[in-house]
Amino acid sequence: MKYLYYPGCSLEGTAREYDSSTRAFMTAMGADLTEIEGWTCCGASAAEAVSELLTLVLPARNLALAEAMKPSGRDILVPCSACYLNLKRVEEKTRVSHALRDRINEALAADGLAYQGRTRTRHLLDVVSRDLGAAAVARHLVRPLTGIRVAPYYGCQCLRPYAVFDDPESPRSMEPLIAAAGADLHPWTMGAKCCGASHMNTKMEVGLKLVGAILEAARGADAVVTVCPMCQMNLEAYQRQVARQSGTDCTMTILYLPQLLGLAIGLSPEALRLDLNLAVTGAFLEKLQHTATAA
Amino acid sequence: MALAEETAIELGTMPEAAEALAEIRAMVQPCIQCGTCTGSCPNEFAMDLTPRHMWRLVLLGRTEDVLASRTFSLCSACYMCTLRCPRGLPLTEAIGRLKQLAAPRHLPHLRSGDLFYRNFIDSVRRHGRVREMEFMSLYFAQMMNPWLPLRYAGMGMRLMRRGKVALQLPSRGSGRLAKLFEKVAEMENRP
């Protein structure tokens, strides 16, 4: 299992623990990740607000770099849902329109690059749930997360508009993985609801409302698990503001999926950089301690 | 017209805007006004026009009224309307086009989003990768609202304590992706 790896900007900054835990978990599961040399920003949600062509050219630059890497034929693994959609959109659109690919290549020529359309971009959850699979996690299990109740949060852009590996409205791909980790499932219907994305920066009152509804529905779980740095940030960083607005406590542990699965296969909280998360409660760490002594 | 008059927005080059809106109209031409988009939108509660209503105005070519609304700027690109639209229309993508149409016009009611995205993408042009602390500082400075940074101060401190962001002076210079950005601008400005 060899992959090219596109971390994206967040994973070098506010989501460093997502990068560390993805690398640690994937390596422990026997996968080999090679970072795309010279990668740059995919445009995030900012390019689309400014320019149609830039929205396609910024991700295409990275696809062109990936395509040039040897040996060829490796899928591109992307942990961030926004990066994933931006890269995937270029693959999908250029597959059906060679005129568009030519237009993108005219721009890329300014950087001495060209994109042929031979890449395959995959979201981390796609790779973990289908290439690795729950059975492999179960085989590597050394610390069953017994008694820990987990709410799987998928967000939007790994599911929509391109439904590749899961149901885009009622996703379930994390459920077998949570079960394989020995944890319990928190049943809810908020897994594919929007967290507000960058509204938290430009229209905070709107973002707080969406995040509030998700955290409210998560009550009763020990942790929410995410697969996107923006979802993670929105759910973990504004819990105090949500509580102030709604008048109810909504303190909740928010983890990245490879952190949760990494704990189950015996990686240490240090290796998974749990110290970098903004919301890990004492109650959660206590429960985790209990699973460690039981193992 | 009523909406545009109430908000008294100076739209500047309207013929150009009308032309661009015609392209967007073509994307949503088969709309049957069923309202599935409105029912699927997580941000509809904060919008002045419902998504269905906005698409109707797009179909009618009422450029001023569409640009005067905050509706398209409140799209968080969750793609639920795109997924559910019974006509299979690329609604989220069409919203992106509306954002692109509005951006160069610097409309006052869309200022926070404008400044946020412009500073974000400038940071990308300069460094190739976005520097979160740098572009947020520039965004706060340009918003000129002394209370705004306070809403993020607690989070900023927690991020700095963990070494996730660092105070950085905005760097100058032409930028790592300058050539690519220039080429894209040149291609988009061709008649």
pLDDT score recorded for residue B1: 40
Residues of chain A with Cβ-Cβ distance to B154 below 8 Å are 240
B44 secondary structure, DSSP code: G
CB contact under 8 A, B74 and A206: yes
Q: Report ipTM (2 d.p.).
A: 0.96
Q: How far apart are CA A204 and CA A213, in angstroms?
A: 14
Pick B103's closest partner by Cβ from A49, A169, A237.
A49
* Residue with token string 């086009």: B97
Is A40 within 8 Å of B176 when comparing Cβ atoms?
yes
Interface contact B187-A54, CB threshold 8 A: no
A46 contacts B121? CB cut-off 8 A: yes
3-state secondary structure of B90: coil
The CA-to-CA distance between both ends of chain A, in Å, stands at 29
Q: Per-residue pLDDT tens for A27-56?
A: 999 999 999 999 999 999 899 999 999 999
Bridge partners for A224 per DSSP:
A151, A254
**Could you identify the residue written with the tokens 């969406």?**
A210
- The pLDDT tens digits of the residues spanning A246-265 come to 898 999 999 999 999 999 99
Q: Are A106 and B118 in contact (CB < 8 Å)?
A: no
Q: Does residue B7 carry a pLDDT above 50?
A: no
pLDDT of B191 reads 79
CA separation for the pair A67, A58 (Å, rounded) = 15
Q: Per the CB < 8 Å rule, is B116 touching A198? A: yes
Chain B contact set for A16 (CB, 8 A): 164
What are the pLDDT digits (tens) for A148-184? Answer: 999 999 999 999 999 999 999 999 999 999 999 999 9
Give the number of A-B residue pairs with CB atoms closer than 8 Å. 161
Cross-strand bridge partners of residue A149 = A184
Report how far residue A125's alpha carbon sits from residue B120's, in angstroms, rounded to the nearest whole number: 27
Q: What percent of chain A has pLDDT over 90?
A: 96
Does the beta-carbon distance from B113 to A50 stay under 8 Å?
Answer: no
Distance of CA A45 to the CA centre of its chain: 15
B75-102 confidence digits (pLDDT tens): 999 999 999 999 999 999 999 999 999 9
* pLDDT score of A197 more than 90: yes
Query: Å from A168 to nearest chain B CA?
Result: 8
Residue A207 has pLDDT above 80, yes or no: yes
What pLDDT is attached to residue B2? 45
Helix (H, G, I), strand (E, B) or coil at B48: coil
Answer yes or no: do A47 and B121 touch at CB < 8 A.
yes
The DSSP 8-state label assigned to residue B77 in this structure reads: -
For residue A50, the chain B residue with the least C-alpha distance is B100
- Nearest Cβ partner for B129 among A41, A197, A198: A41
Nearest to A203 among B80, B112, B133 (CB): B112
Q: What is the pLDDT of residue B141?
A: 87
Measured between beta carbons, which residues in chain A are less than 8 angstroms from residue B159? 14, 278
pLDDT at position B47:
98
- Predicted local confidence at residue B133, as pLDDT: 83
Q: Are B31 and B55 in contact (CB under 8 A)?
A: yes
| The pLDDT value given to residue B190 | 87
The two three-digit tokens of residue B33, written as one number: 């006004």
Map chain A to HEC letters.
CEEEECCCHHHHCCCHHHHHHHHHHHHHCCCEEEECCCCCCCCCCCHHHCCHHHHHHHHHHHHHHHHCCCCCCCEEEECCHHHHHHHHHHHHHHHHCHHHHHHHHHHHHHHCCCCCCCCCEEEHHHHHHHHHCHHHHHHHCCCCCCCCEEEECCCCCCCCCCCCCCCCCCCCCCHHHHHHCCCEECCCCCCCCCCCCCHHHHCHHHHHHHHHHHHHHHECECEEEECCHHHHHHHHHCHHHHHHHHCCCCCCEEEEHHHHHHHHCCCCCCCCCHHHCCCCCHHHHHHHHHHHHHC
| Among B179, B1, B10, B36, residue whose Cα is nearest residue B108 | B10
Nearest CA to B6 out of B109, B97, B101, B75 is that of B109
Predicted local confidence at residue A257, as pLDDT: 98
Place of tokens 């899928």: A75
Q: Which amino acid is at B157?
A: M
Segment among A86-90, A186-190, B77-81, B107-111 with least mean pLDDT: B107-111
Q: Is the model's pLDDT at A243 over the cut of 60?
A: yes
Q: Which of A48, A111, A194 sits opposite B78 (nearest CB)?
A: A194
Residue of A nearest to B89 (CA): A161
Give dist(CA B86, CA B89) in Å, integer.
8
pLDDT of residue A143: 97
Per-residue pLDDT, A100: 98
**pLDDT tens per residue, range A54-89:** 999 999 999 999 999 999 999 999 999 999 999 999
Classify domain B2-105 at the CATH topology level. Answer: Fumarate Reductase Iron-sulfur Protein; Chain B, domain 2 (1.10.1060)
Contacts of A14 in chain B (CB under 8 A): 132, 159, 164-165
Closest CA to A168 of A152, A177, A157: A157
Each domain of chain B, given as residue ranges in start order, spans 2-105, 110-188
Q: In the predicted model, what is the mean pLDDT of residues B43-63?
A: 97
pLDDT of residue B14: 60
pLDDT at A28: 98
C-beta atoms of A50 and B118 within 8 A:
yes
Q: Name the average pLDDT for chain A.
A: 96
pLDDT confidence of residue B15: 67
What is the set of domains in chain A, with CATH numbers?
2-124 (1.20.1050.140), 141-294 (3.40.50.11810)
